[in-house]
Chain A
Amino acid sequence: MQVGKYQLFVATIFVGMETQLNNEVKIMRLTKYLSIVVAVLALGVSGVSSAGMLDDIKARGHLQCGINTGLTGFAFTDDAGNWQGFDVALCQAVAAAVFGDASAVKYTNLTGKTRFPSLNAGEVDMLSRNTTWTYSRDVDLKMTFLGVNYYDGQGFIVPAALGVTSATQLDGASVCIQTGTTTELNLADFFRGNNMNYEPVPIETNEEARNSYLAGRCDVYTTDRSGLAATRASLDNPQDHVVLPEIISKEPLGPVVRHGDDEWADIVRWTLNVIIIAEEKGITSENVAAMAAEVQKDAELNRMFGTEGEYGAMLGLSADWVVNVISAVGNYGEIFEKYLGVNTDIGLERGVNALWTDGGLIYSPPYR
């Protein structure tokens, strides 16, 4: 019995020991709890001061933006360790809109599984992470999709030596396909709809698909067209491989915020919109300062530059917020050409992502 009595005592000793060694963790935890208490107190004292996300973000001093952990052209690190890419540029644009400074943004890398929970839990202010706008995400997951900055769709890549020019000639082909994705379902639908057969070669990652395809384990590789273009660009002889013209699914990608703060949603939505309008009106990062300095004949330009009306104030932003955005990241066409366009390694044509005036789908409501 004596032993039994001592056991509690020993347990406390060991717990005590653990506390000592665990101190590093404890301190961090303690500071966090303290900051929570302080935050709650501050909330109680100041009451309505943190009414909207815009105020919170301004008080914090930076935008917290959710991006991909790595997707060619859309989000990647350069040799200096800075995040860059088509999606990252939109984060920078929003930071420029809010702070007038495109570098006032911090990134949270999110995987396909963590993106929505992180956004919902308030860890990030917005997602710019090649997220497809779908019914269930919009309605069931309570996300607010703010437009489309890239119209993607599933396509096929084949070796040029096969002589195939259309996906309808792929009857009996072996197809490398990522398992458990919507691309797998799209593929099945497409082949069934065209009364064709195929032999699936299941793979897990894009890198594995690339290697399998190169090793000839499959005749065709199918995934989103932007991914195909990027994969093709990384092959040793890109001209030996062709991306077929068919697009068998709709993947409209765009920025997302959570339900509950429409003012903040408006800011992100209109940041994307003004980038598009800027391309339409020929405003570029180079000429925007000069154009804003003088009164333009086009009244929409004057409204955007803040020289006519109080349009910035309606969003809670500065009068020249559009000038800040465009001079920081450029217009839609500039961003596209910088990260995805024909002069990059990826070499994507504008295609459906051309402006509506050029026969594409990129279109913005008027700034009025």
Chain B
Amino acid sequence: MAELNKQDYEPGTHVDLAPPVSQVGITGWMRKNLFSTPTNVVLTILTIYFLYKVIPPVLNWAFIDAVFSDLDHRNECREIAGGACWAVVRARLEQFIYGFYPEHLRWRVNLTFVLMFVALLPLLYDNVPKRKYLLWFSLIYPFFAFFMLWGGLGLEDVESAKMGGFMLTVLIGMTGIVVSLPLGIALSLGRHSSAPIIKVLSVWYIEFFRGVPLITLLFVASTLLNYFMPPGTHFDLLLRVIIMVILFAAAYIAEVIRGGLAAIPKGQFEAADALGLSYAKSMRLIILPQALKISIPGIVNTFIGLYKDTTLVVIVGLLDPLGISRATLADSSWQGLSTELYIFIALGFFISCFAMSRYSLYLERKLDTGHRVK
């Protein structure tokens, strides 16, 4: 100590000593995070053992022993290697993306998909250049998408039965998300309202749709609604299902936002009134911005749930990715390759849902006003 304390250099000229090896770099990180206590040492070793047991076989199956080539039959896969037969995904990739959408019209789906992001951009980010004009595009986009996908106005008609795969998932999921949010906001305000009729109607609506499972609603959409229609009329099944998904999700969104509204201190409402703001203005400028901000995690949670719930449409005979996998596995050429297909579908869903949850985190950070306990 005495040696170190002896200053034989000018102040400010001393060369910094490197920190001890045990405190920095990978060793330091491991000491701090993996081996800090006896319990952690045991847990770390167990985890490493577990990963050692699991990861190599999985990698072996999914990549090393796997077959990626373009084949026509599962037996051809088995002749090459015993691992995953990704040839099935390759053979059916277009069905998994477009369903049975006519091949020469698939550019319409692609265009609609790409423009969906252009339409979403000004809604998701407020620092987009020329946002004002883009918002107009967002407004007309739903009509554009409708004509692009179903045809009309000189475009060749495509019926709903031709749509399937991930295209169907995105179609049902995105329509559900985009329409159910404003509907849910309106319902939550209705439930929060002091006007009895609006309040009672909103409560009834919300409680009914939250009290009934989505599967039941889908069955109602697919079977019961027909009995109310004049015989011989054809009310598109996909449309019926989308409407049910929207109504269902709106009830959940309404309750999530009601939670946000409940978290707003009474003083905020009173302050808005004291400023002389009308109801519409006080909601738009004071209450909803705060309530929606609080509700972001809940809203995104509901959206992700809704997006994944679209797989339920398989039970009413719509061919979403799971339905396509079922039809694929029924082909004796690809029978028994369910693991490969399910992994592929899971990957597709993970990408969309992960993106949504990342965006929600970004939004929360951006809107953070430092009020929350970290």
Interface residues of A (CB under 8 A from B): 3-4, 6-11, 13-15, 17-18, 20-25, 27-29, 32, 35-36, 39-40, 50, 56, 68-79, 81, 83, 85, 106-111, 113-114, 117-118, 121-123, 207, 210, 230, 233-236, 344-346
B173 contacts the other chain (CB 8 A)? no
Closest to A72 in B: B330
How distant is B162 from chain A, measured CB to nearest CB, in Å? 9
Are A234 and B335 in touch, CB under 8 angstroms?
A: yes
How distant is B233 from chain A, measured CB to nearest CB, in Å? 5
Are B183 and A18 in touch, CB under 8 angstroms?
A: yes
B92 contacts the other chain (CB 8 A)? yes
Cα–Cα, bound, A21→B183 (Å): 9
- Contact A14 to B182, CB < 8 A, known contacts A9-B280, A118-B223, A210-B336: yes
How distant is A23 from chain B, measured CB to nearest CB, in Å? 6
Chain A residue numbers with a CB within 8 Å of B159 are: 106
Cα–Cα, bound, A178→B332 (Å): 21
Cα–Cα, bound, A7→B219 (Å): 36
Are A71 and B330 in touch, CB under 8 angstroms?
A: yes
Closest to B165 in A: A81
Are A72 and B279 in touch, CB under 8 angstroms?
A: no
Which one of B198, B280, B327, B336 lies within 8 Å of A70 (CB-CB)? B327
Cα–Cα, bound, A69→B226 (Å): 20
Which one of A7, A25, A32, A114 lies within 8 Å of B223 (CB-CB)? A114
Are B335 and A123 in touch, CB under 8 angstroms?
A: no
Chain B, residues 260-286, CB within 8 Å of chain A (1/0): the string is 000000000000010000111001000
Are A25 and B239 in touch, CB under 8 angstroms?
A: yes
How distant is B319 from chain A, measured CB to nearest CB, in Å? 6
Chain B, residues 320-341, CB within 8 Å of chain A (1/0): the string is 0001101111111101101000
Query: Which secondary structure dominates where chain B touches chain A?
Result: helix
Cα–Cα, bound, A9→B182 (Å): 16
Are A76 and B327 in touch, CB under 8 angstroms?
A: yes
Are B326 and A7 in touch, CB under 8 angstroms?
A: no
- CB pairs A–B below 8 angstroms (7 shown): A24-B145, A25-B242, A28-B150, A114-B223, A114-B316, A207-B329, A230-B335
B146 contacts the other chain (CB 8 A)? yes
Chain B, residues 199-225, CB within 8 Å of chain A (1/0): the string is 000000000000000000001001110
Cα–Cα, bound, A346→B92 (Å): 21
Are B315 and A3 in touch, CB under 8 angstroms?
A: no
Are A8 and B195 in touch, CB under 8 angstroms?
A: yes
Are A14 and B186 in touch, CB under 8 angstroms?
A: yes
B129 contacts the other chain (CB 8 A)? no
Are A81 and B142 in touch, CB under 8 angstroms?
A: no
Taking A9-B279, A27-B146, A76-B330 as known contacts, 10 extra A-B pairs with beta carbons closer than 8 A to each other, sorted by chain A number, are A3-B273, A10-B280, A13-B280, A14-B182, A69-B314, A77-B324, A83-B327, A114-B315, A117-B226, A123-B234
Most A-side CB within 10 Å, residue of B193, B219, B224, B332: B332
Closest to B316 in A: A114
Most B-side CB within 10 Å, residue of A40, A106, A114: A114
How distant is B33 from chain A, measured CB to nearest CB, in Å? 38
Which one of B72, B178, B318, B326 lies within 8 Å of A79 (CB-CB)? B72
How distant is B165 from chain A, measured CB to nearest CB, in Å? 10
- Contact A73 to B332, CB < 8 A, known contacts A106-B161, A111-B315: yes
Cα–Cα, bound, A83→B327 (Å): 9
Cα–Cα, bound, A233→B335 (Å): 8
Q: How many A-B residue pairs have CB under 8 A?
A: 184
Closest to A67 in B: B317
Which one of A17, A40, A76, A106 lies within 8 Å of B186 (CB-CB)? A17
Chain A residue numbers with a CB within 8 Å of B150 are: 28
Most A-side CB within 10 Å, residue of B145, B224, B232, B278: B232
Are B198 and A77 in touch, CB under 8 angstroms?
A: no
Cα–Cα, bound, A113→B312 (Å): 14
Chain B residue numbers with a CB within 8 Å of A17 are: 182, 186
Are B145 and A108 in touch, CB under 8 angstroms?
A: no
Are A35 and B233 in touch, CB under 8 angstroms?
A: yes
Chain B residue numbers with a CB within 8 Å of A35 are: 233
Are B95 and A11 in touch, CB under 8 angstroms?
A: no
Cα–Cα, bound, A344→B326 (Å): 20
Cα–Cα, bound, A289→B372 (Å): 82
Chain B residue numbers with a CB within 8 Å of A9 are: 279-280
- Contact A70 to B326, CB < 8 A, known contacts A10-B279, A18-B186: yes
Chain B residue numbers with a CB within 8 Å of A234 are: 74, 332, 335-336
Closest to B183 in A: A18
Cα–Cα, bound, A11→B280 (Å): 9
Most B-side CB within 10 Å, residue of A73, A74, A76, A83: A76
Which one of B185, B186, B315, B330 lies within 8 Å of A113 (CB-CB)? B315
Chain A residue numbers with a CB within 8 Å of B198 are: 7-8, 11
Chain B residue numbers with a CB within 8 Å of A235 are: 336
Most A-side CB within 10 Å, residue of B243, B283, B318, B330: B330
Are A32 and B142 in touch, CB under 8 angstroms?
A: no
Which one of A3, A75, A114 lies within 8 Å of B194 (CB-CB)? A3
Chain B residue numbers with a CB within 8 Å of A74 are: 330
Are A21 and B335 in touch, CB under 8 angstroms?
A: no
Chain A residue numbers with a CB within 8 Å of B333 are: 79, 345
- Contact A56 to B195, CB < 8 A, known contacts A6-B278, A11-B190, A230-B335: no
State which residues 46-98 of B face A: CB under 8 Å. 72, 74, 78, 91-92, 94-95
Most B-side CB within 10 Å, residue of A10, A106, A111: A10
Chain B residue numbers with a CB within 8 Å of A73 are: 330, 332
Chain B residue numbers with a CB within 8 Å of A233 are: 332, 335
- Contact A76 to B143, CB < 8 A, known contacts A36-B229, A118-B223, A207-B338: no
Chain A residue numbers with a CB within 8 Å of B278 are: 6
Which one of A36, A56, A118, A207 lies within 8 Å of B222 (CB-CB)? A118
Cα–Cα, bound, A86→B182 (Å): 48
Are B219 and A113 in touch, CB under 8 angstroms?
A: yes
Which one of B78, B139, B183, B223 lies within 8 Å of A117 (CB-CB)? B223
Chain B residue numbers with a CB within 8 Å of A85 are: 330
Are B142 and A108 in touch, CB under 8 angstroms?
A: no
B121 contacts the other chain (CB 8 A)? no
Chain A residue numbers with a CB within 8 Å of B178 are: 21
Chain A residue numbers with a CB within 8 Å of B179 are: 18, 21-22, 25
- Contact A14 to B142, CB < 8 A, known contacts A32-B236, A72-B332, A210-B336: no
